[in-house]
Each structure stands twice: as C-alpha cells, then as structure tokens.
A and B are shown apart, each in its own frame.
Chain A
Amino acid sequence: MTPVIEVKNLKKYFSTPHGMLHAVDDVTFSIEEGKTLGVVGESGCGKSTLGRTIIHLHESTAGQIFLEGRDITRVKGKELKQAREKMQIIFQDPYSSLDSRKTIESTIREPLKVSGKYSKSEIESKTLELMNMVGIDERLRVSYPHELDGGRRQRVGIARALALNPKFVVCDEPVSALDVSIQAQALNLLKKLQMEKGFAYMFVTHDMSVVRHISDDICVMYLGQVVEKCPAKELFKMPLHPYTKALLSAIPSVDIHHPNKREILKGELTSPINPKPGCRFAARCPHATENCSQPQVQEEVSKGHFVTCCRIHEL
C-alpha cells in the first residue's frame, strides 16, 4: 500500500543573524491511511515546523515529500493548491487560529468556497453537515468565536480542516489548550472521524499520555532530529534512547502507590543554531562518552524500532 504521506531526509533551516537554525534536520517517515504518527518532544525541538513544512506552510530546505506516492516537494501554483486540499492542519490555539470577525458558519464555509468545486446550495448543506459531524449546534451558525468556549472553538478548527475531505491532517497540539474533561471529548471526536474517513494524522504533542492513547507509531524528536521511532506501545514498554527514557520518567504518575522512578535531567536544551555534528542530546545525557561527539547513525534495533544512539548496545 502506498503511504498517504512520506518524507525522506527532510530538512528545514532558518537563517538567523547568528547562523543557521536547524529546526528540522534529516527526518524520514511515512504514514498510511487511517494511521496516526505521534510526534513528541520539548518546545523548540522542531515538531511544529516539521508539520508545517510538510504541508508547505514553510518551504523545505532539502529532502523530499511524497503525497500518495507523488513527489510534491517543489510543486507550485495550481498543483500546490490541489495538493493542499488533501493536506490540512488543526492549530494548537483555538483562541488565535480563528478569525474573530467571522461567524462560525463563514469560517467553516471558507475552504469549500476557495476550492471552487461546490455550488452555493452544496456549500450550505455541506457546512451544516460539517457542523453536525463535529458536534456544534446549528444555533451557533452565526455566533462569533468569542461567544464560544475553547472546546467548541477547537471543534470549529477541526471542521474547517476536514471540510475538503483531506487525506493527511497535521494535528498541532490540538488539545493542549483544553481542560482534561473537554480534552477527552475532542480526542474521541478525532478518533471517530479517522475511523470513518481514514484520515492519516500526524499528531504533534508534548503530552505523553495523550500521544500514547492516539498514536500507532511515535517519533521522539530532540533539537530537530528523530532520536527514536517505533510502535506506540513498544515505546512505553521498552524505550531505548536515553532521552526517551528521561522524557518518560519525567511524566508525573497519577498512581500514588507506585510513583515513577524519576530521572531528572540536568541542564536545558542547547542551541539549535549551527549545532555540532555529534549527538545533540550528549550535553544532558548521563551516559555520554567521547564517541557521542561523532555523527550518529540511525539503527533498526528490532523490526520497526529505530534508535539514533551509538551507545545503544552497551546501555
């Protein structure tokens, strides 16, 4: 089966006054229909940039992007517009990602209008259908975003992203601005829609319990690079990279009788500007040796489980 989306050695560098910022550095993965890839990492590790680069909100620096098997890395104009219909994004912040001067109805209607595929009456009926699908009452059609709570606003963002029946959806921290009880409603909705329509999700988050719940596979990123990638359940059972281990042990457990053995990392993220060739986590890694300053190679340690760490066999 051709994956819905595939990226090969994707890079995105930003030029800054102090040098090149390596936001996404040599990332490779693919997602099949109806599957979810979770992308986790700390703020500034390049997870959002990765999603935005794939759907062409940023221009990639190097590497390739394939949509349903077709290379779309350098598409422009009409072709780009066609590709974008199949790739959508749900943004993190339901407060700033909606136009405050547009009604709910006109926000959801906009992609349908822009596509130019539908007649006026079709747009009307589709808009209602979408509102129904994400669970927004019809009476809110002419409401403005400020009249809605965060959970409902995020539903508007979801309806807008799914309006043109995309193949691939980047979910960029879609629930982190919501309260727990509302968060579960939104996650269930995303899951239900995926089961019905077969969307491929790239789910960007820093919440480990959410990512475990929603993902089939998980990518762990550190300073622009993927340090570990494997099936979701396996990552939690058998994390291999020292950074993944630290990340998992830092999650405060709700089980008061069996608290986590916490491994507290020292130091903070180093600068992604002109990074040195070796392992980028070495500065905080409790197991770092001299070898870690050499360029690191990704290795498939067991089927589908990739780790980028030269000390993996000793640890």
Chain B
Amino acid sequence: MSENEVRKNVPFLSVKDLVVEYKSDGQIVHAVNGVSLSLEKGKTLGLVGETGAGKTTIAKSILRILPDVGAKIAKGSISLDGKDVLNLPENEMRKIRGNVVSMIFQDPMTALNPVQKIGDQIAEVIRLHSDEYTDFEKRAKEMLEIVGIPAERYSEYPHQFSGGMKQRVIIAIALACNPTLLLADEPTTALDVTIQAQVMDLIVDLQKKYETALLLITHDMGVVATVCDDVAVIYAGNIVEYGTKEQIFDHPTHPYTIGLFGAIPDMNEDEIWLHPIEGLPPDPTNLPQGCAFSPRCKYAADECRKEPISVYKTPDGHDCRCCRINEISTQED
C-alpha cells in the first residue's frame, strides 16, 4: 500500500481511550473514562447523553481548552489529520484552533463579547487564525451574509440581536476560516423550535458545502435523527453504544439507550404513564464498580458489578458496552 492509500483510511479525527479527570475539593471527578471515537471528513457524529456525562469535556479536550488548573488528561490520545494533538507545542495548537477545528458553544447569550461590534468579533478570528484571508472585514461581511444576516449590521452589538441571530453570529465565527472539523456543543438547545430548525438547517447546509466533519453534542434524539450519520451514546463518561444512526435507532441494544428512547413521550401513542429510567446518574467522584449504569439497570446481574465492562458486537455489528446483550435481546424480542 502506498502512503496515500494509508492516509485515505485514516479518519480525520480519532480519539483513543481518552481519560479526563477534574480535581475538586480533594476529590477526583471521573469525567471521561476511556472514550474512543473517530470521524471522517464530511460526516456527522452525534454525541448523545445527559448533563454531566462528559460530552463537553471531550470536545474541549480535542481543542485542548480544558481549564489549566484542576483538569487533567490522564490517558489516551487524540489525533487530527494524523497529528498527535496532545503532544503538540502550544503555538502549533493555536494554529489549529479556529482554523482547522472550531467550536460552537452552547449558550449564544454569553458566548459573545457584549461591548464589541459583532462584525469585529468575526474579523478577529480571521485575523488571528487564517492565512487564507487578508481582508478580514470583507470576509467577516461575507460570513454574515452566509448565515443570513445583512452585512449592513456589521457594526451592531450583540444586545441588538435576537437569540437566533446571536447563535448565527457564533456559527459565522466558527465557520469563518473554513474549519475541517466543527465541534457543536448543543448549538440549538437555547433556541425555540422554529428557530432551532432554521439554525440546524444552516449548519447542515454549510457542512455539506465545505465537507466539514461535524461532532454534534446534544441530548435531543430528534436532532440526532434529523442530521447525524453516526451516533455515540455516552453515560457517566463512557461510550455505552456506538454505531450508525440506523443501527442505534432501529436496534438500540444497551439498556441505557433503550431507556432513553422509552423516556421520550411518544407523539403517536396515548399512554397515561411515561417510562422513566428510575434512579439517578452516578456520582462521578464515586463511580460504581463494573458497569456505571448497573444501579439503574433492570437487567443487571452479578457479573455487571465486578470488572469494567468491555465492548461487545451486537448482531447488526455495532458496538455495545454491555456484558448481557445476549440475554437482553432475547428478552426484548
């Protein structure tokens, strides 16, 4: 095999066995516990899970923007286009941020600088990170038009914009340097449904146009169903199920994924009672032994509470971190 052929099979982003810990009050918070995932150019991976499951920490690790004090990448590797991110010098890393990889943050209300013109905020990213564009203002105006804001509004301030428009400015900032990888952390959670649909359409349009790889962090299964190619379900800092959208939605196998689908009120059924997952997510400073989901799992047996659980293949070939998948699939059928 020639070198080119090898490269072709290497995904653009590859995270292997990532472990991230935070120190707080002398206790260790186990935020991410051995996550592996990969993403190719032009594809979308949905990272689904509840508050505190470690989704945002994974994204911040990829950009290396975890807080200096308290957070530690204890293990694992992250590679971007073949480069080892965790061992790059800081000045190299700065060239990657905003240019090769950029991030859309969750809250449009607080992610913008309130005392700087929105146009200048877009231009700043281009000035700092791009070798491609020399006329920063021109490119910033172009970006405004791309996200559907008239370029005449370049000199306005964030408070003059609605939530949906602020989120579009943030998208313009994230996409200004044509990144190859976009990390979108709950990009539409703070928005109303009709505006949510507009913003999601915009992200997907731009992604298709520029062949961007998109890591979409969300807890909304509906958004995942609409835009993702692959889905990783994360629980207590571990990916518990990982496959194509079709595999996960048609044959959810991990008890947590099954529970997650079951807890959503069904739009076509008239049931009085919902089916919640009983109990609460575990304390990340004191994770249960074995499977972190076992205290809430109705299929849990002794074997679940001993060793860390390895990844098994389901009948349709996707990954599931559950040692009882054979028993469960027979019961579910």
Contact = CB atoms under 8 A, between A and B. Distances in A.
B157 interface: no
Contacts of A150: 51
A234 B9 CA distance: 51
Interface string B257-268: 001110111110
A253 B227 CA distance: 11
A265 B198 contact: yes
B219 A180 contact: yes
Contacts of A212: 265, 267
A184 B263 contact: yes
Interface string A233-270: 10010000000001100111111100100101100110
Nearest to A180: B263
Interface stretch (A4-12, A122-130, A185-193): A185-193
A256 B230 CA distance: 13
A181 B222 contact: no
Contact of B265 (A185, A213, A247): A213
A71 interface: no
A182 interface: yes
A210 B198 CA distance: 22
B264 A254 contact: yes
B193 A206 contact: yes
A151 B195 contact: no
A269 B164 CA distance: 10
B201 interface: yes
Contacts of A213: 265, 271, 274
A149 B280 contact: yes
Contacts of B50: 179-182
B246 A256 contact: yes
Given A182-B280, A233-B270, A236-B267, A268 B195 contact: yes
A246 B50 CA distance: 28
Interface string A193-219: 000000000000010111011000000
B274 A184 contact: yes
Nearest to B202: A264
A212 to B, nearest CB: 6
Nearest to B163: A43
A183 interface: yes
A68 interface: no
Contact of B249 (A236, A254, A269): A254
Contacts of A233: 270
Contacts of A187: 265, 274
B259 to A, nearest CB: 6
Contact of A208 (B193, B221, B281): B193
A209 B264 contact: yes
B263 A253 contact: no
Contacts of A210: 265
A236 B266 CA distance: 12
B196 interface: yes
Interface string B264-289: 11110011111111101100000000
A11 to B, nearest CB: 24
B280 A191 contact: no
Nearest to B196: A250
Contacts of B195: 42, 268
Contacts of B276: 181-185, 188
A135 to B, nearest CB: 11
A181 B221 contact: no
Contact of B194 (A42, A151, A185, A188): A42
Given A43-B163, A179-B219, A183-B263, A264 B197 contact: yes
Contacts of B309: none
Interface of A: 42-43, 149-151, 179-185, 187-188, 191, 206, 208-210, 212-213, 233, 236, 246-247, 250-256, 259, 262, 264-265, 268-269
7 contacts: A180-B221, A182-B280, A246-B194, A252-B220, A264-B198, A268-B164, A268-B165
Given A179-B51, A265-B198, 11 more contacts: A43-B163, A179-B219, A182-B276, A183-B263, A187-B265, A187-B274, A206-B192, A213-B271, A250-B194, A264-B201, A268-B162
